[in-house]
A and B are shown apart, each in its own frame.
Chain A
Amino acid sequence: MSDWLERELARGLAPVAAPEALGVRLGFERARRREFPRVALAIAAAVVMIIGAGYAAGRTAALDLRREARVNVALRPLDDAQLAAARPLRCDGGAAAPAPVNSGRATVLVAHYSIESPAHPLPAASDAGCHFCHQPAI
């Protein structure tokens, strides 16, 4: 065998250092955490918070209405109208009740809630003073 081949084999097959990952696999080394840029992390967190806060502010009225819509509101009984149920109607603060009126069916807006001008806030309407504040559409 030529010296050239001997030299090339020794060079080409030279021993190498084992990678750190081998120690990690066998539990002798801890895996290094990848360093994430803190500035980018802070910016991303701020963006998420701003978007989340904006979304939450937009949804406040609707969320409040849905919560309040579950309140059992006592309505003043009428001879020809019977309240069947109440449910949220719109996201901007309306609650409605389907009611049979003169053998027909009508959807009656029983409350309208607004953050800016709570004209008929449900929590305060324990006696349902605002019922039928809108004319039913038959």
Chain B
Amino acid sequence: MAWMVLEGSERELIEGCRRGERDAFRALFETYQDRIYSIALRFSGDEALAMDIAQDTFLKLFSCMPDFRGDSSFGTWVYRLVVNSCLDHKRRSWRMIPMAGEVMSVLRAPGDALHGLLHSEMRGRVQGAVEKLPADQRIVVVLRYTEGLAYEEIAEVLGCSLGTVASRLNRAHKALGRRLAHLKGDSHV
């Protein structure tokens, strides 16, 4: 039974979860863990908070599986769950050491540490600028650049019109452009 679930289609995977098969849950987790965690991390900018959001999303996913009616694709439904979890979580008002995670990842990584640190610094600035966006613009930016979703897909996930997505992205681009303009010369490292 397990191999059928693991090698089967998405429908079989969902049916396996509905029957309470542990292998199906595991396969679902392995399929979506990186995507869900990435969205949570890029939206929140905090690893611990991203873990909480991802955990909540998976718990909702497993518990709400019977509610999935197939009106949209399963992937879209999962995106909706993680977006709702992101928006539900209150953003932490402070962080102990905002760049500590990035710095530690650079120090652990082999290769040119200085080069890595500069790239890491740039990523940190971008992440910081994104975090300052309003939540409705931030989630659009994350879905666009972290997940590479098309405008139509973002609109389907958020349940809004294509024009709304385009408008939010446009405002976000303008704000980010202003906040990151001073770094334009520093990015060629």
B63 close to chain A: CB less than 8 A: no
Interface residue ranges of A2-38 to B (CB < 8 Å): 2, 4-5, 8-19, 21-23, 25-26, 28
* Minimal beta-carbon separation of B105 from chain A (angstroms): 10
Tell me the bound Cα distance from A15 to B42 in angstroms: 8
Instruction: Give 5 A-B contacts (CB < 8 Å), ordered by A residue.
Output: A5-B173, A5-B176, A18-B33, A18-B38, A23-B33
Q: Is the CB of A12 within 8 A of B33?
A: no
By a CB distance below 8 angstroms, the chain B residues around A15 are 34-35, 38, 146-147
Interface size class of B (residues with CB under 8 A): 35 or more
Tell me the bound Cα distance from A54 to B51 in angstroms: 50
Tell me the bound Cα distance from A64 to B169 in angstroms: 84
Q: Is the CB of B187 within 8 A of A18?
A: no
Q: Which of B41, B55, B142 contacts A26 (CB 8 A)?
A: B55
By a CB distance below 8 angstroms, the chain B residues around A19 are 37, 47, 51
Q: Is the CB of A8 within 8 A of B127?
A: no
Tell me the bound Cα distance from A28 to B37 in angstroms: 15
Q: Is the CB of B187 within 8 A of A4?
A: yes
Q: Is the CB of B29 within 8 A of A17?
A: no
Interface size class of A (residues with CB under 8 A): 20 to 34
A78 close to chain B: CB less than 8 A: no
Tell me the bound Cα distance from A11 to B42 in angstroms: 12
B78 close to chain A: CB less than 8 A: no
A57 close to chain B: CB less than 8 A: no
Q: Is the CB of A22 within 8 A of B37?
A: yes
Q: Is the CB of A21 within 8 A of B127?
A: no
- Residue ID in chain B nearest A16 by CB atoms: B38
A124 close to chain B: CB less than 8 A: no
Tell me the bound Cα distance from A23 to B25 in angstroms: 11
Interface residues of A (CB under 8 A from B): 1-2, 4-5, 8-19, 21-23, 25-26, 28
Q: Is the CB of A11 within 8 A of B123?
A: yes
By a CB distance below 8 angstroms, the chain A residues around B54 are 18, 22
Q: Is the CB of A9 within 8 A of B141?
A: yes
* Minimal beta-carbon separation of A13 from chain B (angstroms): 4
Tell me the bound Cα distance from A119 to B63 in angstroms: 78
Q: Which 9 A-B pairs have the closest CB atoms?
A: A12-B126, A18-B37, A15-B38, A18-B33, A13-B145, A1-B173, A12-B123, A9-B145, A13-B146
Q: Which of B25, B141, B184 contacts A13 (CB 8 A)?
A: B141
B26 close to chain A: CB less than 8 A: yes
Instruction: Decide yes or no: A21 and B51 within 8 Å by CB, A9-B176, A12-B122, A26-B29 being known contacts.
Output: yes
